[in-house]
Chains A and B, each alone.
Chain A
Amino acid sequence: MTKKRSDTGYSIALAAKALLLLCCSMLFACTQERQPCLTPKTASFNLKCVHYLTDTNTTTQDTSLPRAVFIPLTDTPLQSLYYRTSSANFTISLSPVADSCSWLITTDSLLYAFDTLSFHYTRKLQFLSNACGYTYFYSLTAATTTYNNIDSVLITNPSVTNDVNTRQLKIFFHRN
């Protein structure tokens, strides 16, 4: 009988300890803060700049723009993206408040005139996560340009998502 009572007491003590441990762990586990957003929240519209090697052939070569400037044509005060280092790959964004938008682009802020790139697209609402909320993904339908420095543009992938590695537009510059 004494043995049985001590066994029961041991079980109670064990259960009490377990409960205490659990309550303590719960106190640490409970959090009301929002989880951090670990994925890009804005869809990346990735451009690649190239030029034809000659006027007649179709082989292209990367065009490294020395000091490229991209300016979005928005209703808000003028903002721009200055690239201080030479590059052939750039990332811009599309407007989530309209089905088209335009950017001014120049290959070198000191030397060349601007071209206007216009994009038309459809928007698709995309839930990222509770931590990141919603964003828009886009499907490009058309791209147009002026021809000061640019020869033509080509949509290589119409799907604009938050995947930073996929390029959607190839810009062909005049051979200088």
Chain B
Amino acid sequence: MLIPGNLRYFFTAISVLLLLCVSVAEGQTTDTLPKADTTKAKVDTVKVVQPSRQLVLGADIILPVRNYLETQRTGYEFHADYFLHDELYLAAEGGWGSSEVAYTDLKYNTRNTFLRLGFNKVLLPRENRKDWGGLMLGLRVAAAAINRSPVTYTIVDSLWGNSEGALGGKTFGGYWAEINAGVRVELFHGLIAGWMIRGKFLMNAKQFKDLAPLYVAGYGRGDKNAVFDFNFYLSYALRWKRS
């Protein structure tokens, strides 16, 4: 992402802060809940209750704000996850984006689409069948199809004279793996808000050597082999009974 180093730490600090807030909130929620009916609890422990099926669809709502504020890059991202079993979710995210470099000595632009696939695991045990929130850890593998325009460059040399040139466009792939952690909370019936921090590790850095894209949607700065990123999703959950 186009985030200066210091601000990346700021993001991390905010994430930790949010994590603490949610932990406190969940703790308070537990405290204020009425005592469970012991008879019903016994029944619940005997009868294995299968949660409903759930499909969550959502979008990153921070990216449009960034797109508005930044002129060099745009990005859009959507996500979906499907409850499998044992608090394990099949997760997918996809999107597209672009960047434009228009410096005096370097000009090009890129466009790319991306897809991530993986799993989320909710770590905290659910309080009841309708409890779909919680702290999640996730793993992803991701791929991006990147299209780079022709490049024009100028090598400035005050002694010998400037040298100008151009390079042809290029289409190539980017592949990376991710470790994610996040929290989501159900605001209303089915309406979910959540954030996720991501550690991303580029797996084909050689492809980026000749000109690392300024920004790859879904990944971040193309000149970094490892980046941290942040998403804030607003989502809607579709639920239905198991047949």
Chain A interface (Cβ < 8 Å from any Cβ of B): 3, 6-8, 10-12, 14-15, 17-19, 21-23, 25-32, 34-35, 41-42, 72, 74-76, 79, 93-98, 101, 125, 127, 129-130, 133-136
Contacts and interface: CB of A to CB of B under 8 A. Distances in A.
Contacts of A12: 187
A93 B159 contact: yes
Interface of B: 2-4, 7, 10-11, 14, 17-18, 21-22, 25, 28-29, 32-34, 61-62, 65-66, 69-72, 101, 103, 105-106, 153-157, 159-163, 165, 167, 185-188, 193, 195, 209-212, 214, 223, 230, 232
B153 A10 contact: no
Given A22-B230, A129-B212, 13 more contacts: A14-B25, A15-B185, A21-B14, A25-B11, A26-B69, A29-B4, A31-B2, A32-B70, A41-B156, A74-B161, A95-B161, A96-B163, A127-B209
12 contacts: A17-B21, A29-B2, A30-B2, A31-B4, A76-B159, A79-B159, A95-B157, A96-B160, A127-B209, A127-B212, A136-B155, A136-B163
Nearest to B1: A29
Nearest to A72: B159
A25 B7 contact: yes
Given A22-B232, A30-B66, A133-B105, A3 B160 contact: no
Contacts of B157: 42, 93, 95-97
A72 B159 CA distance: 8
Contact of A72 (B4, B69, B160): B160
A31 B21 CA distance: 28
A71 to B, nearest CB: 11
A18 B21 contact: yes
Contact of A19 (B10, B161, B214, B232): B232
B5 to A, nearest CB: 10
Contacts of B187: 8, 11-12, 15
Nearest to B7: A29
B14 A8 contact: no
Contacts of B153: 133-134
Nearest to B106: A133
A162 to B, nearest CB: 12
B183 to A, nearest CB: 9
B214 A125 contact: no
A101 B162 CA distance: 15
Contact of B103 (A8, A28, A94, A133): A133
B69 A27 contact: yes
A24 to B, nearest CB: 9
Nearest to A3: B32
Contacts of A30: 2, 66, 69-70
A22 B193 contact: no
A75 B159 CA distance: 10
Nearest to A11: B185
Contacts of B159: 72, 74, 76, 79, 93
